[in-house]
Every structure is written in structure tokens, then in C-alpha cells.
């Protein structure tokens, strides 16, 4: 494998970037902030009394508000924070639809912006103080696109929040949602680092099998709920799996910005390329099984320390998969625009994927044979042959040998284009 495939090559869509990320990321230009966490001005300013009315706020602090805020504040019945020490701006959006983050300014006259936790093509996540509850929270401010607001993510998060009362969903918990200056804002609980960053901190050495199994069980609890409700997460990857504490004792699944119901597939973007199921690559119909493919990719990465498939584009990604799984089944190799492009690409660049030149067992090393079978059952060309979350919960690697009432399905090996098992 070339060095370019041992690390992330180029930007990954919807990746959450750390605070020191360069201004231009993912091909989208965002003006540089003067500082992620700005110091407060030294001069003292009057302190806002807890929960005042908008009229009292204007009467007492009107000279410190912008003309826009003097009108905007009338829409809010409770005023908890005014951001009086912030370097306020008259324009609240950049030309490309991103909200202009101003340190120590207010969000909805309640939250104080403390800094940027992450950025991506979706928008940005801010670390804020809730002056009503005195909690530190994360607020996801979605990028504004032609004044269109998609509430699918909120709809799914509200369902998961309600479901949490009956069973643990192992998903990040939404606290609130609201519209602020034409941006959809979603407030979340604060969690720990994501698994991508934790792997980096550990120099990409991978985790112990015991810890991977614990994380896998938690991810499966989430996928079980989603599968039963026919909800597609659509972007499962280490970046979107967060540790619940500094000890990394367990995880929760986050970022449902690409999620949708199976019968409401309206997303233009589904899944980061390296974790994208083959049915997405070859433009075939897809369902919740794409999350199990991504799940298998994540487990392999947690074990080895690096992504298992690292294509530079969709065509190269397909070649990477072929090197591990062999040629796709005959039924799937329909004449589509993608396959035509794939064949043309290989002919032009004189590159041909060598099927099974990177066997899965050699990638995972001398690991637990049950773990190898588990990952292999997630990574199948045919989504119908792919293990479901319910079956995964009964797999020997998860249960440690103890089986409950749901039997584990035997996965048949589909034949490739040569007629041999793939």
C-alpha cells in the first residue's frame, strides 16, 4: 500500500476540525477569526441581572446593543445574556452561509460563545455557557443555504431523546433546538474527544480488543434503535463517535446531520468516502445496511489504527474494496454510469485492482478469529448478506460465547464475476 493510503488524503466531507485548522478547509473558504478564545476587555461593564425582560434590557443597556439587536431582542421573552463585552458585528453571516462567530457574544440572548469546537461543511459547533442553567453546552449552528431549513436531524434527535427514556440509545443527547438569525441551532450535552483524535493521541497504535468490544456494543445499541425505526445514520466514522469522559470508558454516537429515514432519502451527501458502503459507490438503492458497513470499517480502524479503505476518489475507493473483498457479485455489476466511468478510468490510467491482493485477515493481523469473522460479516458486497445489528448483538465476538434467543445468520459467500466465491 502506498504511503498516501496510510493516512487521510485530502479533506473528508463533514469532518470536524480542531481549533487550529487552517482557514480554508474542505474546499470552502472561511475568513480567519482573530482568535478562537478571545480575552475579555479589561474595562468593567454592568452585569445583567438573571432573566430580565427585553424592555428593561433595552432601557438599561440599549447603548451597548446594535441597532439590529434593539429590534431583535423584542422577539425574546426571557433575556439571560447580552454579550456586552463582545466585539459585535453588523453582518452576522459570511457570503458562503456560515455564521460569524464572535467570542463572548450571545446566542439567542441566553448562551455565551466561548470558542469553536469544530467546523465542517455543515456549519460549526461552538462551546457555550448556558446562562439560564449555568451549564457548558455544545451548540451546532448549521450553515444557512438559501434560507432553507432542513429539520430532519432535529426530528431524529427528538425521537432518540424520547427513546432514551425506555432504553439506552448510546447517542449524544439533544437539549434544545431553535432558530437564531435564520440559522438552525441545536444544543447538545458536552462529551469528550472523538475516536479519531484519540487514535491520533495514541500514535495510531489501535485499541485493546477489550475496549473495542465495549465500544462495539455501545455502537450496536445505537444501530439497533436506528435499524428498528428504519433510520439511516449515514455518516458513521471515528470522528462522529465521542468518548463520554476523559478516561474514554465508553462512547456515544453523534452527528445525525446526514441521517434520514429509508423512505425519505433526500440527502445529496451520504457518508465520508472511506466509510461509504459499495452500494453507494455504484449508485444502487441503499438502506440501513450502509451503517453496518461503516461500522465494520470503524472496528477495523480501531484495531489497526488506520482506515481499511483509503480511496482518493470514489473510483479508487471501489478499487480498494476489490483488493480486500474480490470482485463484486455478478448481480451487482449492472451497467450504470458509474461502472462505465470506472472502466474508462482504469483504461486511461492503466490501473487495475488486483482482487483479494489484501486479504482481510492479513490487514487485521493475528487477531481474534471471532473478531475477524465479525468484521467480515459487516463488510460484504451484498447489503442483503450483511449482518444486521440484531444479528451482530448475538455474534460470538460480542457475547463472548453466550448466545441468546436470536441465532447468528450464516453468511453465504456470494460468487464474483468469475463464478468463484468472492
pLDDT tens-digit series, residues 175-215: 999 999 999 999 999 999 999 999 999 999 999 999 999 99
Q: Would residue 364 count as lying in a domain?
A: yes
- Which pLDDT score, from 0 to 100, does residue 267 have? 64
Half-sphere exposure of 392 (CA within 13 A, CB side): 31
Q: Report how far residue 250's alpha carbon sits from residue 247's, in angstroms, rounded to the nearest whole number.
A: 8
Residues 182 and 215 in one domain: no
Number of domains in the chain: 2
Over 80: is that where the pLDDT of 126 sits? Answer: yes
Of 188, 219, 245, which closes a domain?
188
More confident residue, 344 or 94: 94
* Range(s) of the domain holding residue 117: 18-188
Q: Report how far residue 28's alpha carbon sits from residue 290's, in angstroms, rounded to the nearest whole number.
A: 27
Q: DSSP for 377-407?
A: HHS-SSTTTSPPHHHHHTSHHHHTT---SSP
Residues 203 and 327 in one domain: yes
Residues 199 and 345 in one domain: yes
Q: What is the pLDDT of residues 303-339, one digit of tens each?
A: 999 999 999 988 889 999 999 999 887 655 555 666 6
More confident residue, 360 or 119: 360
Residues 382 and 259 in one domain: yes
Of 21-30, 48-57, 335-344, 385-394, the poorest mean pLDDT is in 21-30
Q: Would residue 406 count as lying in a domain?
A: no
Q: Would residue 418 count as lying in a domain?
A: no
Q: Are 107 and 128 in contact (CB under 8 A)?
A: yes
At residue 414's C-alpha, the angle toward residues 409 and 417, to 5°, is 170
Of 162, 188, 214, which closes a domain?
188
Residues 311 and 351 in one domain: yes
Residues 70 and 170 in one domain: yes
Residues 248 and 109 in one domain: no
Q: How confident is the model at residue 247 (pLDDT cuts 50, 70, 90)?
A: very high
Task: Tell which residue, 282, 264, 358, has the closest CA to residue 6.
Answer: 358
- In the predicted model, what is the mean pLDDT of the chain? 82
Residues 255 and 378 in one domain: yes
Q: Would residue 416 count as lying in a domain?
A: no
Q: Which cell numbers in the block locate residue 192?
A: 469528550
Residues 201 and 268 in one domain: yes
Over 70: is that where the pLDDT of 347 sits? Answer: no
Average pLDDT over residues 27-33: 33
Q: Would residue 204 count as lying in a domain?
A: yes
User: Largest Cα–Cα distance of the chain, in whole Å?
Assistant: 81
Q: Are 106 and 61 in contact (CB under 8 A)?
A: no
At residue 273's C-alpha, the angle toward residues 272 and 277, to 5°, is 95
Q: Would residue 422 count as lying in a domain?
A: no
Over 90: is that where the pLDDT of 398 sits? Answer: yes
φ and ψ at residue 368, rounded to 5 degrees: -55, 125
Q: Are 358 and 189 in contact (CB under 8 A)?
A: no
- Which pLDDT score, from 0 to 100, does residue 354 have? 83
Contacts of 394 (CB under 8 A, 6+ apart): 403, 404, 406, 407, 408
Residues 235 and 166 in one domain: no
Q: Would residue 102 count as lying in a domain?
A: yes
- Domain holding 294: CATH number? 1.10.510.10
- Which pLDDT score, from 0 to 100, does residue 35 have? 35
- Percent of the chain at pLDDT exceeding 90: 64
How far is C-alpha 416 from the chain's CA centre?
A: 32
> How many other CB atoms sit within 10 Å of the CB of residue 420?
11
Q: How confident is the model at residue 264 (pLDDT cuts 50, 70, 90)?
A: confident
Residues 256 and 390 in one domain: yes
Q: Which cell numbers in the block locate residue 100?
A: 460569524
Q: Would residue 286 count as lying in a domain?
A: yes
State the DSSP H helix or E strand holding residue 227, giving kind and residue range, or none if neither. helix 209-228
Q: How confident is the model at residue 275 (pLDDT cuts 50, 70, 90)?
A: very high
- Which pLDDT score, from 0 to 100, does residue 209 have? 94
Over 90: is that where the pLDDT of 125 sits? Answer: yes
Catalytic member of 235, 239, 255, 291: 235
- Domain holding 73: CATH number? 3.30.200.20
- Which pLDDT score, from 0 to 100, does residue 132 have? 95
Residues 264 and 124 in one domain: no
Residue 235 a catalytic site member = yes
Q: How confident is the model at residue 298 (pLDDT cuts 50, 70, 90)?
A: very high
Q: Report how far residue 360's alpha carbon sits from residue 262's, in angstroms, rounded to the nearest whole number.
A: 30
Contacts of 186 (CB under 8 A, 6+ apart): 139, 140, 142, 153, 154, 157, 174, 176, 177
Q: Report how far residue 109's alpha carbon sits from residue 66's, in angstroms, rounded to the nearest whole number.
A: 13
Phi/psi zone of residue 80: left (φ > 0), alpha (ψ -120 to 50 degrees), beta? alpha
Residue for grid cell 436531524: 153
Average pLDDT over residues 393-415: 63
Over 50: is that where the pLDDT of 399 sits? Answer: yes
Kindly report whether the global pTM for this prediction surpasses the value 0.75.
yes
Of 188, 208, 223, which closes a domain?
188
Q: Is the dihedral of CA 150, 154, 160, 163 positive or negative?
A: negative
Over 80: is that where the pLDDT of 12 sits? Answer: no
Average pLDDT over residues 25-32: 31
Amino acid at each position: 500500500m502506498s504511503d498516501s493510503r496510510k493516512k487521510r488524503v485530502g479533506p473528508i466531507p463533514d469532518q470536524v476540525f480542531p481549533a487550529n485548522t487552517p482557514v480554508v478547509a474542505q474546499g470552502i473558504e472561511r475568513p480567519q477569526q482573530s482568535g478562537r478564545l478571545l480575552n475579555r476587555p479589561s474595562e468593567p461593564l454592568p452585569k445583567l441581572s438573571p432573566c430580565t425582560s427585553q424592555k428593561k434590557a433595552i432601557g438599561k443597556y440599549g447603548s451597548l446593543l446594535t441597532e439590529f439587536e434593539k429590534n431583535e431582542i423584542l422577539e425574546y421573552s426571557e433575556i439571560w445574556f447580552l454579550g456586552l463585552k463582545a466585539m459585535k458585528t453588523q453582518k452576522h453571516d459570511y457570503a458562503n452561509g456560515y455564521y460569524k462567530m464572535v467570542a463572548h457574544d450571545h446566542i439567542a440572548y441566553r448562551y455565551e460563545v466561548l470558542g469553536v469546537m469544530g467546523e465542517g461543511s455543515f456549519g460549526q459547533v461552538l462551546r457555550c455557557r448556558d446562562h439560564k442553567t449555568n451549564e457548558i453546552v455544545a451548540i451546532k449552528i448549521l450553515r444557512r443555504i438559501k434560507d432553507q431549513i432542513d429539520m430532519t436531524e432535529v426530528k431524529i434527535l427528538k425521537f432518540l431523546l424520547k427513546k432514551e427514556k425506555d432504553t439506552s440509545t448510546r447517542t449524544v443527547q439533544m437539549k434544545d433546538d431553535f432558530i437564531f438569525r435564520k440559522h438552525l441551532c441545536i444544543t447538545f450535552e458536552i462529551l469528550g474527544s472523538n475516536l479519531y483524535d484519540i487514535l491520533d493521541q495514541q500514535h495510531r497504535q489501535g485499541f485493546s480488543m477489550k475496549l473495542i468490544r465495549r465500544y462495539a456494543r455501545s455502537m450496536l445499541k445505537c444501530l439497533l434503535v436506528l435499524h428498528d425505526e428504519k433510520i439511516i445514520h449515514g455518516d458513521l466514522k471515528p470522528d462522529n463517535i465521542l468518548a463520554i469522559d476523559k478516561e474514554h470508558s465508553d462512547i456515544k454516537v453523534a452527528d445525525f446531520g446526514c441521517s434520514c429515514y429509508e423512505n425519505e432519502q433526500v440527502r445529496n451527501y451520504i457518508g465520508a468516502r472511506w466509510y461509504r458502503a459499495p452500494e453507494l459507490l455504484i449508485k444502487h438503492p441503499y438502506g440501513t445496511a450502509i451503517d453496518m458497513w461503516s461500522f465494520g470499517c470503524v472496528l477495523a480502524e480501531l484495531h489497526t489504527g488506520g482506515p481499511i479503505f483509503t480511496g482518493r476518489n470514489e473510483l479508487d475507493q471501489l478499487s480498494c474494496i476489490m483488493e480486500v473483498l474480490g470482485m463484486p457479485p455478478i448481480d451487482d455489476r449492472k451497467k450504470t454510469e458509474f461502472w462505465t466511468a470506472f472502466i474508462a478510468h482504469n483504461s486511461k490510467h492503466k490501473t487495475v485492482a488486483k482482487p483479494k491482493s489484501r486479504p482481510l485477515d492479513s490487514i487485521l493481523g493475528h487477531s481474534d478469529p471471532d473478531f475477524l469473522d465479525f468484521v467480515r460479516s459487516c463488510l460484504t458486497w451484498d447489503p442483503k448478506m450483511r449482518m444486521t445489528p440484531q444479528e451482530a448483538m448475538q455474534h460470538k465476538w460480542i457475547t463472548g460465547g453466550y448466545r441468546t434467543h436470536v441465532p447468528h445468520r450464516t453468511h453465504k459467500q456470494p460468487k464474483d464475476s468469475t463464478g468463484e466465491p468472492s
